[in-house]
Chain A
């Protein structure tokens, strides 16, 4: 591992007022997104999905079905974009890559003893390297929340740096597991720490515990990204994961990105949704927009 460059004083901390954050989120949810804006938003959101399967019972067959869905979201609807990426366990990277690489869809792999992160650093780094060598375009790592709560920030920082190094050309998403951090001040601090240590994306959750992504934690993380951009000019990506299963909520998240960061972030290069069932709801809403008729789940493939 490289020499530590951790400098606690250089990592930005600030007070966050939770009540104020929740009020702002409530206001975002009063935004009314209609007609053309809605269609455009729904398509944008589809193109931002990391279609995910991270189950103990995943098999090659499951991954094949997921990859097929990723590139064939719905028949009979013109100009539908593909999802941004598929997200799988490291042992399925090779298979996934062989199925989606030629469709412009990325392969993201979890690593670092996902989801708990409770393992020895050297295995987490090795796991990362292996996933990258199998062809992963992106790595979704988890931070060591236990160490964070112990106040061992240097350890958390150095681990992220080392994983970043192991990523090589792959982009690194750092999962904070905000549901375990306890309060929004910690979410802001962890975000800045991850960014300082080399994250290309910061991500809310593993999706394995509740609460997963919420608007308040996402807002705080977007503010961390904005503060970093103002200080350095560098863009960092954002990925809320888990808990966003309906289109209306997804569109409100996009409004939040637009108003906090700006329209340059409204692409899958800088924003992703970690979701699986969201795709079908987006499709239902798109078809409803086109036809004016409310849809049924039976008409949208469950993969």
Chain B
């Protein structure tokens, strides 16, 4: 008689492999390189991908492919999707707090930052279908024309997340961009990268179309020239740049007049809609108003 087989209820944990997030999928870095993240007692937490310029190139291709579809969704739909990210994130508080503590956070700081991250998403979800109303205008031109100015997304936005936080800084680096119909390629915090990949998993289950948000981990110095110079990137957002970085970035970005935005975690009003409009172009349109009863100005 065969002995009954039972499923063991204790044992060694399955370690997670941290990959990068491109085009809605989780490939490894094509370079095969990694760098380790260790906790305070030098225990290995993860081998995180050291992304290469080719990974960045692939991510830009994915972002470009996704951009017209993302911008073509209604503002309401984008709003719902970003809210859905918050719904998916909220349930995973214990997981993120654990990861943040592995990276050296205290329990309180981790929980506070997590709550702030969820609220950050809810806040910006609510901007998608409103910023156009606040930042558009019908202009009373001195001729019989209907004249209106509206913001439009720039296209593909590359971002460097702040190195100081594990989760909130990541979201701050790209959420306003996607609110406005842009797609993004994000380089996570170099020292605190693990939450970024777990966040990618949350994004992957939130009905976000593949390629809208792409997340890489790696070395900021190595990738800076590529993020700055890529001719098919329309804007570059950098959080907490060093002075030397800003010179190099400005120089390389000149090639295609990429719009560059430097933000500092210390100064910034975190919840401002200007973070959205900073990544929008303004289009002005004119159309005649015929006026049979006599000429004059329009609106």
Q: Is there direct touching of A and B in the complex, by C-beta distance under 8 Å?
A: no
A residues whose Cβ falls under 8 Å from a Cβ of B: none
B residues whose Cβ falls under 8 Å from a Cβ of A: none
